[in-house]
Structure 1
Amino acid sequence: VLKETFKQLDKNIKITTRAKDGDYIAQKGIVCTISGNAQAILKGERTALNFLGRLSGIATTTHKFVKKVSAYKVKILDTRKTTPGLRTLEKYAVRMGGGYNHRFGLFDQVLIKDNHIKILKLGSKNCAISRVVKIAKQAFQNDKTVEVEIKNLKELKSALKVFPDIIMLDNMNYSQIKKAVRLRDDLNPQVKLEASGNINLKNINQFAMCGVDFISLGALTHSANNIDFSLIVQKKLRRS
């Protein structure tokens, strides 16, 4: 994206990269060298640095979480809590940090949440969870992953009976998630479990050691700090 920013202004600008996406860069390290028309370079400077800093911040934040749970068989997932218009780039940055992408939108995966169940008015919450999962599985015939969000162990039991691909344990604490994993292992071990909500770098190990398959974190994209990059002129460029 840095290259494309400058190429949009002047196709003759030459960019030589010193690192590739996902590489570790030491402080004060050089990412690339740029040569060409000075006016075009200065026009593109801030936009290019904004992209680089934002996406590198997401990759770095993701890597911190991935490194924290490296001893466990758990995948770190992003969410749809991305900057409008930049989802593809921000999810790419998550992958470069060692994380994995959750769904991109409403088109590539079914995620049944509280609002869907309330709108459909299919009876009690536990009954509705079972019915909506069945409807989704019948509608898509294994073409799409079907995931359902639950908030307690009673809802988990209902969900496990109808074989969703993934069950999201939403805002459940460490103790509840340990019980949820044991329940899943006893009743339907093929269903994957995803922990989500109130998870950070300080407590993520507790959730990872519970035995969940995924941990999803909106913080990877909505709370990542930008990395500070600068463009420094090393010698005077010729006017064109």
Structure 2
Amino acid sequence: MLTTAPTLPTARIEAVVSAALAEDAPWGDLTAEVFLPAEATAGAELAAREPGVLAGIDVFAAAFRLTDPAVRIHPLAADGDRFAAGDVLATVTGPARAVVQAERVALNLLQRMCGIATLTRRFVDAVEGTGASVTDTRKTTPGLRALERHAVRCGGGVNHRFSLSDAVMAKDNHLAVLEQQGLDLTEAIRCARARLGHTTALEVEVDRLEQIEPVLAGGVDVIMLDNFSLPDLARGVELVAGRAVVEASGTVTLETVADIARTGVDVISSGALTHSAPHLDLGLDMTVTA
């Protein structure tokens, strides 16, 4: 059954897929051209070889469409859908040369995205009922951030700032420079806040409990508790007392995320959603006809 799912802008999909196709077949598919008759057609089924969550069906389709508009894709599931091993997720029909040329790019991107969505769903399921949301980080594959972030949403997670241009987020290195310059942390945050428009969020990372009050006094929207122990996370939530959104980060794994959520934090960010997700095993089973 098809479900409502987040969408990726077509322009972003085509930019990534076009670059991948150009990398894989810069002057065409030599093997297909010498082995397959120009008039041959192919039919194929996109089949799951293990259970997971679908993400990137439009990306998969774009690889074939941009190779040859004559190829037709019929999705049988939508982004965000869970599937079982053996499920057929889409069918592909069209000129055989185009189908085999686009196959690897289509599968590479789809397997990557489904792996991220599936891992994200495991994290989200682990914190169910706690009130905490699971978010990604900027630890994404260069050039693939939009696709990987979309996959996180398909898995039930939420997205952190998309880029350095989207929000103010002062981390340990920024604070180290302030300290080296002898600047007061609270005053530095107030000055930063004064330079921002009312729609721009301000987040500051801390790595010890005694930093929390000076940061809150500066007027932040989000405070990140980085690499805190579970007792210190719980204490940090108490100290913040609702004055800012509390984000936990650092050493977040599938084994630890539920305990972190139970400390009362609002958001849990994990780079593992994107940098450690394995590709999901999907296959394109094909028949070629004259």
- 2-side partners of 1:174 and 1:16: how far apart? 48
Query: What is the one-letter code of the residue matched to 1:208?
Result: A
- Give CA deviations for 1:69-105 in whole Å, capped at 9, x if unaligned: 0111111010000000000000000000000000011
Q: Give CA-to-partner distance per residue, 1:27-67, whole Å, 9 cap, x none.
A: 01111000001111101111111111000000000000000
Q: Which position in structure 1 is the counterpart of 2:111?
A: 53
| Partner residue in 2 for 1:37 | 95
Q: SS of the residue aligned with 1:149?
A: strand
Any gaps of 5 or more consecutive residues in structure 1? none
Cross-structure match for 2:157: 99
| Aligned partner of 2:196 among 140, 143, 146 | 140
Task: Tell me the amino acid that sits aligned with residue 254 of structure 2.
Answer: L
Cα deviation for residue 131 of structure 1 reads: 2.6
TM-score, normalised to structure 2's length?
Answer: 0.77
Q: State the partner residue of 2:220.
A: 164
Aligned positions of 1:166-181 closer than 5 A: 166-181=222-237
2:177 aligned to which of 106, 119, 132 = 119
Shift of 1:230: 0.7
Partner of 1:5: 63
Q: 2 CA distance for matches of 1:132 and 1:209?
A: 32
Whether the 8 Å contact between 1:78 and 1:102 is mirrored in structure 2 is yes
Between 1:113-122 and 1:175-184, the stretch displaced more is 113-122
Q: Does 1:184 align with 2:240?
A: yes
Residue 118 of structure 1: how far off its partner (Å) = 3.0
Amino acid at match of 1:210: T
Match status 1:27 vs 2:85: yes
Query: What is the distance in 1 between the residues matched to 2:165 and 2:181?
Result: 23
Name the aligned partner's letter for residue 105 of structure 2: T
Structure 2: segments with no counterpart, 5+ residues:
1-58
Alpha-carbon distance in structure 2 between the residues aligned to 1:67 and 1:166: 24
Question: Partner residue of 1:209?
Answer: 262
Higher strand share: 2
What code does the residue aligned with 2:247 have?
A: E
1:8-30: CA deviation from partner (whole Å, max 9, x where unpaired): 11011000000000101110111
Instruction: State the alpha-carbon separation in 1 of the partners of residues 106 and 288 from structure 2.
Output: 20
Matched residue pairs, number? 231
CA distance in 2, matches of 1:190, 1:82: 30
2-structure distance, mates of 1:8, 1:139? 45
Q: What's the offset of the Cα at 1:122?
A: 4.1
- Counterpart amino acid of 2:208? N
Letter in 1 for 2:266: D
Contact 2:216 2:243 in 1 (8 A): no
Distance 1:83 1:132 in 2: 33
* Alignment match, 1:88: 146
Q: Percent identity?
A: 40
2:125 is the counterpart of 1:72: no
Partner Cα distance (1:142, 1:62) in 2: 32
